[in-house]
Amino acid sequence: MGEPLTFEDFVEARLQALLRYAVMLTGDPHTAQDLVQETMIRAQLKWRRVAAAGVPEHYVKRMLTNAYIDLNRGSWLRRVVLRAEPVERAGVEDHAQQSADRDQMWHWLGRLPRRQRAALVLRYYEGLSDIEIAEVLGCAVGTVRSSISRALVTLRVHVTPAFEGGTR
Amino acid sequence: MMDELLRAAFDRHEEFVPVAADLRPAIAAGARRRRARRRWAWSGGALLMLALLAVVPQVLPLRPPAIAQLSLGDAPPAHPMQFLLLGTDRKPGAVAEPVRADAIVLLHVDPATRTVYQISIPGDLLLDLPGFGTQKASAAFLFGGYSLTAQAVTGLTGIPIDGGAVVDFEGMQTITKAAGGVELCVDERAVSTHVFLDSEGRVTHDVGAGHPVVYEVGCRHFAAWEALDYLRLGGTSEARDRHLRQYLAAMVRQLSDPVQLSRMIPVASGAVDLHLGDASLATLASAAHLDPARVLGVRLPTRPGDGGLLPAPGGDGLYTALRTTTVPAWLAAHPEQVG
């Protein structure tokens, strides 16, 4: 075993990637920032446990994803995010509203159940395998696959490819 | 095909991703704060006073000097600290009135040079208040108290705040009284609009009862009521901020006397609302070895804007200097901002 990964090294190497991931999850830079900030604070406080995990990045991603999925439930993030408007509305809807015409895909991503959206982001943005996605989401591989196929069905129904293709 | 559309949608939104570096101070400060909260044990008035001025120079006056400190191993960190001091306009007895912070002072404590820099944030400075848009700095307290004000100041300077205190008019008077008044130097003749002397030389708040109290140029001892009155005068908010910095520096000098300090401790707890944040006993103690003569005032570079003051471009240099502990160099290059 080499030197254990320090928190600082992890931040240096992975913070930007986690922010990207959080933006794709939440659809909103501000919520993403709050989510990452809170997750990283928690990760730092229990860093020894995080570093001992097989892939620390997956561990942190799992913390972040759980926090995102729990946003609905009046979770810890609700308590820490000092925001005038409810987190739910903070960006996904507003942002989608502005660019609804331009970006149907983003709009419908925002309407998917959070677990389904997370699975899509992990596969199509982060490029993880289904096994890795299952690890991050803490569920069975079969569940990952069914989440993704259900999400794709929803998107297929609502997103008009011609419209989407000719927008930019 | 759907997967290509998805990938394209994600790629389009990469431009909205915040910059990681901006988040790092907040993460570091958040973790420190929560660690401190875990181990924090309240130990009363002494700490209240420490955090209020952040700079009390000799709490441990009989302790051998710095060399012995270094060998302790767990000596407090030598990194600079930021404290936020808010003076509110809350009046005694007024319950329903909105409260603003009309004095906002950022104290930058540099243990390495044993220096404290007081940076006044003008109440009229327009800041971005998370959740409330652009507002005057003084209104941050109205919307979200100490924590929102601290957040807005951090937003401006990019530097996390280690702790702070809120004091209202009455609290300040109590503290000044306990200190037995304060030595102040008047730089501009000021005529009171609140306090008057009647024909028998008695102090009254009755407008028109006699002659207003006048503060002539020069240094002298001020009773608590005089000091507080003087601090509320001054034609401009900039003058008031300057007077407050002079007052704080004078208080620090006085409290470097342990007898004075011990007299202060019992009253401070009732007079000040303390927000220790992540300031632990150790970090506060490291602030205790400061030189009372090295309490310098710094003016924040601002420019007039629409409906308030705006941060001037020169401010960025100051914030960078604060982050990198190179304030002396910055001040040498910008002598007009000292005072």
Q: What is the ipTM of this complex?
A: 0.80
The confidence score (pLDDT) of residue B110 equals 79
Residue A167 pLDDT level (bands cut at 50, 70, 90): very low
The least confident of A40-54, B166-180, B198-212, B269-283 is: B269-283
What span, in angstroms and rounded, lies between the C-alpha atoms of B45 and B113?
27
Q: Does B131 sit within 8 Å of A85, measured CB to CB? A: yes
Residue B199 and residue B191 in contact, taking contact as beta carbons nearer than 8 Å? no
Judge whether residue A73 has pLDDT over 70.
Answer: no
Q: Rounded to whole angstroms, how far apart are CA atoms B86 and B169?
A: 11
Q: Contacts of residue A130 in chain B, CB cutoff 8 Å?
A: none
Backbone phi, psi, residue B182, to 5°:
-150, 150
Q: Which of B4, B13, B147 would best serve as a mutation to test chain A binding (most A beta carbons within 10 A)?
A: B13
Give me the pLDDT at residue A19, please: 95
Burial pattern B107-131, b for ≥16 Cβ within 10 A else e, equals: bbbbbeebbbbbbbbbbbbbbebbb
User: What per-residue confidence (pLDDT) applies to A104?
Assistant: 82
Substitution target in A15, A79, A83, A108 with the highest count of B β-carbons within 10 Å is A15
* pTM for the full predicted model: 0.52
Contact flag A105-B5 (C-beta cutoff 8 Å): yes
> Can you give B56-77 as a three-state secondary structure string?
CCCCCCCCCCHHHHHCCCCCCC
Output the six-digit token pair for B22.
């901006």
Q: What is the DSSP string of B25-40?
A: HHHHHHHHHHHHHHH-
Tell me the mean pLDDT in the region A59-69: 90
CA-based nearest distance B130→chain A, Å: 7
Q: Indicate the residue of A41, A121, A161 with minimum beta-carbon distance to B27.
A: A41
Q: Check B27 against A37: CB less than 8 A apart.
A: yes
Q: Does residue A92 contact residue A26 with C-beta atoms inside 8 Å?
A: yes
Nearest CA in chain B to A39: B27
Of A11, A27, A105, the CB nearest to B24: A11
pLDDT band at A14 (very low <50, low <70, confident <90, very high): very high
Structure tokens at B166: 């809120």
Residue B294, classed as helix, strand or coil, is coil
How confident is the model at residue B70, as a pLDDT? 33
Would you tell me the crossing angle of helices B169-178 and B258-271 to the nearest 10 degrees?
160
How far, in Å, CA of B65 to CA of B300, rounded? Answer: 34
**CA neighbours within 13 Å on the CB side: how many for B49?**
28
Query: For chain A, what is the largest distance between any 2 Cα atoms, rounded to a whole number of angstroms?
Result: 53
A142 vs A137, A148, B4, B128, B269, CA distance in Å?
12, 10, 23, 47, 60
A7-26 and A29-45 helices cross at what angle (nearest 10)? Answer: 150
Interface test with A, best of B3, B17, B37, B147 (most A CBs within 10 A): B17
Tens digit of each residue's pLDDT (9 = 90 or more) over A115-164: 999 999 999 999 999 999 998 998 999 999 999 999 999 998 888 665 54
* CB-CB contact of B255 with B76 (8 Å): no
Write out residues 42-81 of A within 8 Å (CB-CB) of B. Answer: 44-45
Q: Identify the band that residue B78 occupies on the pLDDT scale cut at 50, 70 and 90.
A: low
Residue type, B335: P
pLDDT at B291 over 80: no
A41 Cβ under 8 Å from any chain B Cβ:
yes
A163 near B CB under 8 A: no
pLDDT at B63: 34
Amino acid at A18: L
Q: What is the DSSP letter of B287?
A: G
pLDDT above 50: residue B64: no
Distance CA(B170)–CA(B90), nearest Å, equals 8
Query: Considering CB atoms only, which of A41, A82, A109 is closest to B9?
Result: A109
Geometric angle at alpha carbon A49, from A48 and A52, rounded to 5°: 85
Q: Cα–Cα distance between B246 and A37 in angstroms, integer?
A: 38
Nearest Cα of chain B lies from the Cα of A105 at a distance, in angstroms, of: 7
With CB atoms and an 8 Å threshold, state whether B23 touches A36.
yes
Q: Calculate the alpha carbon distances from B231 to A161, B95, B184 in Å.
A: 67, 23, 10
Q: Which residue has the tokens 């090294």?
A: A9
Please give the Cα distance from A107 to A101 (Å, whole number).
Answer: 9
Higher-confidence position of B220 and B200 = B220
Is the pLDDT at B75 greater than 50? The verdict is no
Q: For residue range B138-158, what is the model confidence (pLDDT) as tens digits?
A: 889 888 888 899 999 998 888
> 3-class DSSP state for residue B91?
coil
The span from the CA of B114 to the CA of B322, in Å, is 14
User: How many angstroms separate the CA atoms of B271 and B176, rounded?
Assistant: 10
Judged by DSSP in three states, B92 sits in coil
Grade residue A2 by pLDDT with cuts at 50, 70 and 90. Answer: low
**What is the DSSP annotation of B190-228?**
EEEEEEEE-TTS-EE--TTSSEEEEE-SEEEEE-HHHHH
What are the structure tokens assigned to A62, written together?
Answer: 């799992």
Of A15, A36, A82, the CB nearest to B130: A82
> What residues in B contact A127, CB-CB < 8 Å?
none
In the prediction, which pLDDT does A122 show? 95
Between A and B, how many CB-CB pairs are < 8 A?
A: 91
* Chain A residues 99-118 with CB within 8 Å of chain B: 103, 105-106, 109
Report d(CA B133, CA B103) in Å as an integer. Answer: 21
Quote the tokens at residue B207.
Answer: 């407008």
Give the helix/strand (H/E) hosting A20: helix A7-26
